[in-house]
């Protein structure tokens, strides 16, 4: 039995789902994995909520504003640095929004946590896209985990498969449908809807985010593929070197033309190289798939990935729930994998 | 950097592929994972081949028959017990044939290795089907790994995904196409071939084993699903409690009838229960799949598995090379997973 301190930063849709799921399944994690997953604090824009602290912290909180939050903790002015120091070690869970240009705030959070001996599990792509090598080196130096299932298609296993299930095999190329919003739009356009009608439907159903431009233009797919490639292939691919085309500009006529020749249009992220030893490249763009392509059947907000290998053939993974609860479950999976072994 | 002693038992198609792959990729495993995977000896029916031993063993071997094998090692009379004792610790790789009735010889080998502090990585199903709880308890007691990717669809990740990629989620049911021979036969029968013609073709192509009765009758699928269920769900399902129907008796007429109504016939292994808390059951039999079922497109000697979960949706894995080299790669993946962590 092991106690694991958890500090959650960010309380948007995924952060809130993480909080709920952890509360709901706390007993299951203890019984099945021997882990007490203890959420100590939630760092939000509107103030830190201390859920269970050291005696010193609780008394400080009570003698302070004494204000109780709806999450049955104390709202206090503890900074992240205070929390990391007070709880000594554990896992920082980063659910802050992704900024693919600056990598912030994830970059500063992750650096601070790693330098203070905390593992990091993230649902945020920015830091890993902008500063992958620096953060990987910092984690390695301190023998700490920096896990990113939540940032790489979440409940769909991508990094696990590439790093672990295919360990020892040489990966020759990776292809994926990594964005649920655009795949939903393409699926509905294949049903005959216009782009704008399909997008509106995706928004109404809560599949598309309020500002889906990063999804539509392909940047979200590119970011995920870059993180996967950097971790699995040991590359150092930058966004600026990546050719990215999204689904904007796609018309009903093009969809109809593809259907006429028996093809399916999908937004594919791809990492490949021209020959062994040549540099790896990431590209994102629309592809015409034959109906027997393993990703051609991945419809709606589903996602999928293919790893092509030298000695294990190709391995395709599809499914995995594309919602905040699925993403939260992926974060918890990453936490469990840090502490639990199956022997 | 870490040295790992490996003793291989069994030198059939998979054992030989393991030997070849390890030799071919030795440097890659060292560079990528920091592991020197040292194959010390091969225990075959025709005698043990010592590839690199302690000084004492080598001098004993040289002063003995002195006979060199084609594998550039010494053929000697060392028993497995001698080898386990002499090399102290490491991984026993079991590539002996599966006997689903007695579990031998895998059961005795595995017990001996675990009791002497060796990890076990197996491609053989028998021991895990006949004595799962006893062997799992023995491994747990000694904190040793007992890994079975090679016995559960090999290069197709099944146990990895169920145990690790879905850690924390509740698995509600598992379904799979787990046998390449029968799936090949069904695919060719869907093309219009008779059962016996399709079987002959599978034999000619080296897909079907010389005696494919365990595949045809569904026992191989059942054994794999039982091992997966016991490990992933913590069940103790026995073969005797399992309803198993194979593909024998399937006619061209039935195939044609299925095609007429737009369905695909597949041999599916399934683990499910009627309601939460009810006992888990494994069943193997022919199923009529709709064309949009994620396993309907798994053709030829390919395999596939679906895990249905509570909070991560369903996850489908397909592909993975169905040949001795793919199985060997799965054994090596399991060895790497014992010693290597990604942080």
Residues B11-53: tens digit of each pLDDT: 999 999 999 999 999 999 999 999 999 999 999 988 888 888 7
pLDDT for A59 equals 73
Question: With an 8 Å Cβ cutoff, is A73 touching chain B?
Answer: no
CB contacts, 8 Å: A156 with chain B: 315
Instruction: Name the residue among B231, B317, B342 with its Cβ closest to that of A163.
Output: B342
Domains of chain B, CATH where assigned: 2-155+325-339 (3.40.50.720), 159-320 (3.30.360.10)
pLDDT for B45 equals 86
pLDDT-based confidence at residue B65 (cuts at 50, 70, 90): low
Question: With an 8 Å Cβ cutoff, is B164 touching chain A?
Answer: yes
pLDDT-based confidence at residue B68 (cuts at 50, 70, 90): low
pLDDT tens by residue, A218-272: 999 999 999 999 999 999 999 999 999 999 999 999 999 999 999 999 999 999 9
Residue of B117, B27, B41 lying closest to B80 (CA atoms): B41
* CA B60 – CA B76 distance, rounded (Å): 9
Instruction: Name the residue among B25, B155, B338 with its Cβ closest to that of A313.
Output: B155
Question: With an 8 Å Cβ cutoff, is B239 touching chain A?
Answer: no
Residue of B45, B94, B105 lying closest to B331 (CA atoms): B94
Task: Give the number of A-B residue pairs with CB atoms closer than 8 Å.
Answer: 164
Residues B58-82 have a mean pLDDT of: 72
pLDDT for A200 equals 96
pLDDT for A68 equals 66
Q: Is B269 annotated to bind ligand?
A: no
CB contacts, 8 Å: A313 with chain B: 155, 319-322, 326
Residues B294-316 have a mean pLDDT of: 96
Q: Assess whether pLDDT exceeds 90 at residue B272.
A: yes
pLDDT-based confidence at residue B59 (cuts at 50, 70, 90): confident
Burial A128-153 (b: 16+ CB within 10 A, else e): bbbbbeebbebbeebebbbbbbbbbb
pLDDT for B66 equals 56
Q: Is A197 annotated to bind ligand?
A: no
Percent of chain A with pLDDT over 70: 97
Q: Is A204 annotated to bind ligand?
A: no
pLDDT for B60 equals 73
Question: The sheet that has B264-272: what strands, in order across it?
Answer: A243-244, A281-289, A264-272, A171-177, A303-309, A314-319, B314-319, B303-309, B171-177, B264-272, B281-289, B243-244
Q: Assess whether pLDDT exceeds 80 at residue A280.
A: yes
Q: Looking at chain A, which residue has its C-alpha nearest residue B28? A: A168
pLDDT for B53 equals 74
Q: Assess whether pLDDT exceeds 80 at residue A25.
A: yes
pLDDT for A253 equals 93
Q: Tell me the residues of chain B between 1 and 60 that have a Cβ less than 8 Å away from chain A.
A: 21, 25, 28-29, 33
Tokens 């030799």 map to which residue?
Answer: B23
Percent of chain A with pLDDT over 90: 86
Return the ∠ at Cα B294 (arms to B293 and B295), rounded to 5°. Answer: 90
How far is CA B17 from each of CA A66, B84, B110, B327, rounded to the nearest angstrom?
Answer: 67, 22, 21, 8
Q: Assess whether pLDDT exceeds 80 at residue B236.
A: yes
Q: Assess whether pLDDT exceeds 90 at residue B279.
A: yes
Burial B2-37 (b: 16+ CB within 10 A, else e): eebbbbbbbbebbbbbbbebbeebeeebeeebebeb
Question: Among B224, B231, B266, B303, which one carries the catalytic annotation?
Answer: B224
Strand intervals (E) in B150-299: 171-177, 243-244, 264-272, 281-289
Q: Assess whether pLDDT exceeds 70 at residue B69.
A: no
Q: Assess whether pLDDT exceeds 70 at residue A188.
A: yes
Q: Is A10 annotated to bind ligand?
A: yes
Would you name the residues of A annotated as active-site residues?
224
Question: In the predicted model, what is the mean pLDDT of chain A?
Answer: 94
pLDDT for B47 equals 84
What ipTM was assigned to the predicted interfaces of this complex? Answer: 0.95
How far is CA B303 from each of CA A68, B218, B248, B324, rounded to the nearest angstrom?
Answer: 54, 14, 19, 15
- Smallest CA–CA distance, residue B218 to chain A, in Å, is 24
Lowest mean pLDDT among A198-202, B67-71, B329-333: B67-71
Question: With an 8 Å Cβ cutoff, is A111 touching chain B?
Answer: no
Question: With an 8 Å Cβ cutoff, is A169 touching chain B?
Answer: yes
Q: Assess whether pLDDT exceeds 70 at residue A45.
A: yes
- Smallest CA–CA distance, residue B21 to chain A, in Å, is 9
pLDDT for A69 equals 67
pLDDT-based confidence at residue A76 (cuts at 50, 70, 90): confident
pLDDT tens by residue, A77-131: 788 999 999 999 999 999 999 999 999 999 999 999 999 999 999 999 999 999 9
């Amino acid at each position: 039995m092991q106690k694991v301190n958890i500090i959650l930063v960010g309380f948007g849709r995924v952060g809130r789902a993480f909080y709920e799921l952890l509360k709901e399944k706390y007993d299951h994690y203890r019984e099945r994995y021997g882990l007490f997953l203890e959420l100590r604090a939630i760092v939000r824009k509107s103030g830190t909520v201390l859920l269970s602290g050291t005696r010193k912290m609780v008394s400080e909180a009570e003698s302070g504003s004494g204000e109780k939050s709806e999450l049955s903790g104390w709202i206090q002015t503890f900074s992240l640095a205070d929390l990391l120091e007070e709880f000594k070690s554990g896992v920082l869970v980063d659910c802050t929004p992704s900024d693919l240009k600056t990598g912030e705030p994830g970059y500063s959070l992750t650096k601070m946590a790693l330098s203070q001996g905390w593992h990091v599990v993230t649902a945020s792509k920015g830091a890993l896209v902008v500063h992958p090598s620096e953060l990987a080196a910092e984690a390695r130096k301190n023998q700490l985990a920096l896990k990113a299932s939540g940032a790489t298609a979440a409940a769909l296993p991508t990094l696990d498969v590439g790093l672990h299930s295919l360990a020892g095999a040489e990966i020759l190329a990776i292809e994926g449908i990594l964005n649920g919003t655009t795949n939903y739009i393409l699926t509905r356009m294949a049903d005959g809807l216009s782009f704008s009608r399909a997008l509106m439907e995706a928004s109404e159903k809560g599949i598309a985010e309020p500002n889906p431009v990063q999804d539509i233009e392909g940047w979200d797919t590119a970011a995920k593929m870059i993180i996967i490639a950097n971790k699995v292939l040991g590359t150092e691919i930058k966004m600026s070197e990546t050719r990215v085309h999204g689904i904007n500009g796609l018309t009903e006529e093009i969809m109809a033309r593809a259907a006429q020749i028996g093809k399916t249009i999908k937004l594919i992220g791809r990492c490949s190289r021209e020959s062994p030893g040549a540099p790896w490249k990431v590209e994102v763009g629309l592809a015409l798939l034959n109906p027997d392509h393993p990703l051609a059947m991945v419809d709606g907000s589903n996602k999928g990935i293919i790893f092509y290998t030298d000695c294990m053939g190709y391995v395709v993974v599809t499914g995995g729930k594309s919602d905040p609860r699925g993403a939260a479950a992926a974060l918890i999976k990453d936490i469990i994998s840090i502490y639990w072994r199956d022997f």
